[in-house]
């Protein structure tokens, strides 16, 4: 088992550990009993994960802890709403859960985001335990404390920064994922290589097929390195004042694609196309070379990820959505762009670079 410490300190000590390894679901109940973080525990999951792992984890928790309730909601990005958040909170209130409660988020990114947001606001904040079961959640959304729900106006528009008590990355849960779900996580892992680690990028170029073969050593390597990078960034900039903006590479365009597709396009697919477009924007602006752009595009293709946005989504609509993206400032579109593989461009002291509409349009047409 691997341990990564996320040493976050803001107004209070929010530091926590990420545990990475096999058969970790079986130790959660005993860990919670020993730590005594709460009296009551809400196990929040979705309809898919509830069938796979919810029952066994619930049984472990009920045998070890005093009061536990499982709350499941329909799987999918369409459930990441204020309505579902209220549904979870109402179930907890009906069960008499007070300030001595915890929320256990068992599932992918949607579960982690919405359950984390519930934990951040329920009784003004209760401990949250993240138990990611998708590759994208293991390497990204479960780490760093970003929690949110979507609105008709945009993705992740209402949320909070709220660090978990602990993250359990049980790699055994990944073996139920299909190729498309693995590809989603690989999009985020490729991003980490671009923004912070040329070594990780090169490792993926040499070993990406092993991920699809569920090679334990390869999975552990890319998950551990991705979590280490995310932890390092979050430690230095918890609330995304500057450095943490580099984690948004590909997400300005990507979130717009997701939203305009009504979330029929997955997060990983959207941000892979987003990174290719934002890479094109970086050409001639940041030092990012055509050769590096080709390597990036080639790696996405090998991962089975799209390198172009859907043809039925207009550039004009994407630009309009990006103008009201939460990363925009004074109506100006802002992106984080690569300087070279393993390093992001800093302009005027900021990793957020304002991008004009013409540059975006040209990138889509090239």
DSSP for 244-292 reads GGGGGTTHHHHHHHHHHTTT-S-HHHHHHHHHHHHHHHHTTTSS--HHH
Specify the DSSP class assigned to residue 49: H
List pLDDT tens digits, range 11-70: 557 899 999 999 999 999 999 999 999 999 999 999 999 999 999 999 999 999 989 999
Listed in sequence order, the DSSP H helices in the chain are 28-35, 47-49, 55-64, 82-94, 109-121, 135-136, 179-196, 198-212, 216-236, 251-260, 267-282, 290-302, 315-323, 357-365
pLDDT of residue 329: 85
Which is nearest to 273 in space by CA: 292, 314, 301, 302?
301
Q: How far apart are CA 82 and CA 88, in angstroms?
A: 10
Indicate whether 256 pLDDT > 80: yes
List pLDDT tens digits, range 320-351: 999 998 888 888 999 999 999 999 999 999 99
HSE toward the beta carbon, residue 161, CA cutoff 13 A: 13
pLDDT of residue 10: 61
- Cβ burial of 62 (10 Å; 0-12, 13-18, 19+) is middle
pLDDT of residue 283: 97
Question: Encoding tokens for residue 164?
Answer: 């978990």
Q: How far apart are CA 248 and CA 195, in angstroms?
A: 10
- Residue pair 87/73 in contact (Cβ under 8 Å)? The answer is yes
Is the dihedral angle over the CA atoms 183, 255, 81, 10 positive or is it negative? Answer: positive
Indicate whether 204 pLDDT > 70: yes
- Residue pair 97/130 in contact (Cβ under 8 Å)? The answer is no
Average pLDDT of the residues in 68-89? 98
Q: How far apart are CA 325 and CA 354, in angstroms?
A: 13
> If you search the block for the tokens 């050593």, which residue do you land on?
217
Average pLDDT of the residues in 289-307? 98
Q: How far apart are CA 155 and CA 253, in angstroms?
A: 12
> What is the set of domains in the chain, with CATH numbers?
2-176 (3.40.50.1970), 179-226+240-365 (1.20.1090.10)
Q: For residue 329, what are the β-bridge partners?
A: 332
Q: List active site positions.
A: 124, 146, 188, 230, 240, 244, 248, 251, 255, 267
Which is nearest to 113 in space by CA: 145, 138, 86?
145
User: Of 21-25, 155-159, 299-303, 325-329, where does mean pLDDT reach its minimum?
Assistant: 325-329
Indicate whether 119 pLDDT > 90: yes
All residues at 6 or more sequence positions from 128 whose CB lies less than 8 Å from its CB, including other chains: 102, 103, 104, 105, 115, 116, 119, 120, 162, 164, 165
pLDDT of residue 145: 95
Indicate whether 152 pLDDT > 70: yes
Residue 122 CB: number of other CB atoms within 10 A? 22
Which backbone phi and psi does 69 adopt, to 5 degrees? Answer: -140, 135
β-pairing, 334-335 vs 353-354, is antiparallel
Which is nearest to 353 in space by CA: 366, 344, 361, 340?
344
| Mean pLDDT over each residue of the chain, to the nearest integer | 96
Inter-axis angle of helices 290-302 and 198-212, nearest 10? 20
pLDDT of residue 179: 94
Average pLDDT of the residues in 223-237? 96
Length of the chain counted residue by residue: 366
């Amino acid at each position: 088992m691997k341990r990564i410490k996320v040493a976050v300190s803001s107004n209070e000590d929010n530091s926590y550990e990420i545990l990475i390894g096999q058969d970790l679901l079986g130790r959660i109940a005993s860990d919670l009993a020993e730590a005594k973080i709460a009296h009551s525990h809400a196990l929040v999951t979705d309809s898919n994960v509830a069938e796979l792992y919810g029952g066994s984890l619930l049984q472990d928790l009920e045998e070890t802890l005093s009061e536990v309730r499982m709350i499941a909601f329909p799987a999918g990005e369409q459930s990441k709403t204020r309505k579902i958040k209220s549904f979870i909170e109402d179930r907890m209130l009906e069960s008499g859960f007070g300030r001595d409660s915890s929320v256990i988020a068992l599932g992918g990114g949607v579960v982690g985001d919405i359950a984390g947001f519930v934990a951040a606001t329920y009784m003004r904040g209760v401990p949250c335990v993240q138990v990611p079961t998708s590759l994208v959640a293991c390497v990204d959304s479960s780490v760093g404390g970003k929690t949110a729900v979507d609105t008709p106006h945009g993705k992740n528009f209402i949320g909070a920064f709220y660090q978990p008590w602990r993250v359990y990355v049980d790699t055994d849960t990944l073996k139920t994922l299909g190729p498309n779900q693995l590809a989603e996580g690989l999009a985020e892992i490729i991003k980490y290589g671009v923004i912070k680690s040329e070594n990780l990028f090169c490792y993926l170029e040499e070993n990406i097929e092993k991920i699809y073969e569920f090679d334990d050593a390869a999975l552990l390597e890319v998950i551990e390195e991705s979590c280490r990078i995310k932890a390092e960034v979050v430690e230095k900039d918890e609330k995304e004042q500057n450095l943490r903006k580099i984690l948004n590479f590909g997400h300005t365009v990507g979130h717009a694609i997701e939203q305009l597709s009504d979330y029929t396009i997955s997060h990983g697919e959207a941000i892979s196309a987003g990174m290719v477009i934002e890479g094109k924007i970086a050409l001639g602006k940041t030092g990012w070379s055509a050769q590096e752009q080709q390597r990036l595009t080639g790696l996405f293709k090998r991962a089975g990820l799209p390198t172009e946005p859907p043809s039925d989504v207009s550039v004009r609509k994407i630009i309009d959505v990006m103008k009201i993206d939460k990363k925009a400032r004074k109506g100006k579109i802002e992106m984080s762009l690569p300087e070279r593989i393993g390093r992001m461009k800093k302009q005027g002291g900021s990793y957020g670079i304002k991008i004009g509409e013409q540059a975006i349009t040209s990138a889509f047409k090239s």
